[in-house]
A and B are shown apart, each in its own frame.
Chain A
Amino acid sequence: MADAARRNYGSAPRSDAAATGGSPKHSPAPVPDGDAGAAGTDGPQTGGPESGAEAGGRPTSRAVLAPADLARIVSRMAHQILEKTSGGDGVVLLGIPTRGVPLAARLAARIHDVEGVTVPTGSLDPTMYRDDLRLKAVRPLRVTDIPDGGIDGRVVILVDDVLYSGRTVRAALDALAEYGRPRAVQLAVLVDRGHRELPIRADYVGKNMPTSRREKVAVRLAETDGTDAVLILGDRP
């Protein structure tokens, strides 16, 4: 059981904590201000220029992953997907907009490089299935593009950049059910930053990144932001 869990996670959490400079152990502490509280309901929609670091204190931004790191991580995740799905048999990759979509495309490209199989890729916008719509100003809708052939009987792998509260993934599972009945649904994320509010766990994790709730994790991808990077924004406690 423990072995299975470790294999599913891309790398062991403990070593990651060391690699990222050892963020201090955070008990799920009371959130000091309203902004951070809102971020808690925001879910993995972090990233983008709007997710600023004005949460009080000294705003900082540190790069955690460089472009070469990102490429290696995507490559490893592609191998793990192939391993776990017996060579990508029946796999459909669905990216969650915005940055899950180019990530899904990169995974598909790596999978093609490694084994020569072409896995269908698309996108799934869970916005209209969210449970926190009324907590924020109206969210613009993104593109949902289910590949030809649909998802019935397939192994759907949802791809997102950051896994945080788990609410986006929950909404995506609901949205997915409207398009068909997959044989299995798996989850691949570039960064797992903890603080889950729902019983959701990723099958493929690029990097476990323990963070404080006061921080924000921003994934930047060349396709959407002009450069590859993973940043932690926010005040260092």
Chain B
Amino acid sequence: MNRHLLSTADLRRDDALLILDTAEQMARLADRSVKKLPTLRGRTVVNLFFEDSTRTRTSFEVAAKRLSADVINFSAKGSSVSKGESLKDTALTLEAMGADAVVIRHSASGAPHRLAGWVRGHVLNAGDGTHEHPTQALLDAFTIRRRLGRLDGLAVTIVGDVLHSRVARSNVWLLRTLGAKVTLVAPPTLLPHAVATWPVEVSYDLDTVLPASDVVMMLRVQRERMSAAFFPTEREYSRRYGLDADRAAKLPPHALVMHPGPMVRGMEIASDVADSGRSTVVEQVANGVSVRMACLYLLLGGADGPAEEPHEQRPHERREVSR
């Protein structure tokens, strides 16, 4: 295992499978009456959230508490951050308080990487800008494997706002590592320029891709990150890229419909599809806790490896991350 969980791009196949297998054992605990484990007793996990997120923060909090770790929630609002403290100073403060792991969400891509160079504890990326959201991809892979029994050779279609989606990026790298074939479907304006270098197929027509998909993953249109007009109207987007009941009928019978949440019903996904038997939306939330428990256990559960000194800051890196 790597020392930190920053991205799925540098996750080896063995490690990814170890996380999924460990999550499988963690998931079995959800069935018993006493869900608490003593494993991380005495360890401190800090949730450092610079962006609003209820579900991811709560999921990490539940995961850490089930493993008996102490959890400190540190949100940017109302903290010293709003008084102008830099990310580095915040990180060093948390470290001085004895954080063994920092779960960070930040609006700037790359913030967790910088943090990992500053603190001795383990860093888990809970979403950074439009870069990556590794635990979401891991829980998606876990959900697919639980439902369909495998990942190797599956055709996974990711639909929607790929440009702003860290979920899509993390999924592209992880699914590639695990042997699935990924197709991105989006309006051309919502695909990043670099998509040509990604290990994916690209299509602009959802209807032709659906019949050959084992999994279709719908992404939320992230209005809060949009600074320009990417499509004419919501209605047009919904007509061309939304998953309604008629479109869902084109999927093979075993195919899954996934959504990382929060959903905008009627926009990218119709209500009756979101509530249908092939939808895994609620399972994904439950699996999220198991996968995050697995990540915390694998990072914090053993002996600390050879203490990796925080690396010195090189002059060209001395740019401030927070915006």
Using a CB–CB cutoff of 8 Å, the interface residues on chain A facing chain B are 125, 128-129, 133-144, 174, 178-179
Contact = CB atoms under 8 A, between A and B. Distances in A.
Contact of B305 (A137, A139, A143): A137
Interface in B24-46: 25-26, 28, 32, 34, 36-39
6 contacts: A128-B67, A134-B303, A137-B303, A138-B301, A138-B302, A144-B28
Contacts of B22: 140-141
Contacts of A137: 302-303, 305
B302 A178 contact: no
Contacts of B39: 128-129, 133
Contacts of B91: none
Nearest to A139: B302
A144 B303 contact: no
A178 B21 contact: no
A174 B38 contact: yes
B38 A138 contact: no
B298 interface: yes
Contacts of B148: none
A137 B32 CA distance: 28
A178 B68 CA distance: 14
Nearest to A178: B34
B32 A136 contact: no
Interface string B1-38: 10000000000000000100110011010001010111
Contact of A138 (B25, B28, B297): B297
Nearest to A125: B25
A133 B299 CA distance: 12
Interface string B296-318: 01110111110000000000000
Given A125-B25, A133-B39, A179-B32, A140 B18 contact: yes
A174 B36 CA distance: 12
A129 to B, nearest CB: 6
A140 B302 contact: no
B38 A135 contact: no
B302 A136 contact: yes
Nearest to A146: B32
The list of the 7 closest CB pairs from A to B, nearest first, reads A138-B302, A141-B25, A128-B39, A178-B34, A138-B301, A137-B302, A128-B37
Contacts of A125: 25
Contacts of B67: 128
B3 to A, nearest CB: 12
A35 to B, nearest CB: 15
A140 B1 CA distance: 11
Nearest to B300: A138
Contacts of B301: 128, 133, 138-139
A141 B37 CA distance: 13
Contact of B25 (A136, A144, A174): A144
B217 to A, nearest CB: 28
A136 B303 CA distance: 5
Given A128-B37, A128-B39, A179-B32, A143 B25 contact: yes
Interface centre among A135, A137, A141, A144, by most chain B C-beta atoms within 10 angstroms, is A141
Contact of A134 (B18, B34, B36, B302): B302
A192 to B, nearest CB: 27
Given A138-B299, A140-B21, A141-B22, 12 more contacts: A125-B25, A128-B38, A128-B39, A133-B39, A133-B301, A134-B302, A134-B304, A135-B303, A136-B302, A141-B26, A142-B25, A178-B34
A178 B28 CA distance: 13
B25 A129 contact: no
Interface in B282-305: 297-299, 301-305
Contacts of A179: 32
A140 B297 CA distance: 10
A128 B296 CA distance: 12
A135 B305 CA distance: 10
Contacts of A133: 39, 301-302
A62 B114 CA distance: 53
Contacts of B302: 133-134, 136-139
A33 to B, nearest CB: 19
A129 B40 CA distance: 10
Contacts of B299: 138
Interface in B53-100: 67
Contact of B298 (A135, A138, A142, A144): A138
A128 B297 contact: yes
B140 to A, nearest CB: 21
A143 B38 CA distance: 18
A167 to B, nearest CB: 14
Contacts of B303: 134-138
Contacts of A134: 302-304
B137 to A, nearest CB: 21
A56 to B, nearest CB: 23
B307 to A, nearest CB: 14
Contacts of A139: 301-302
A140 B37 CA distance: 15
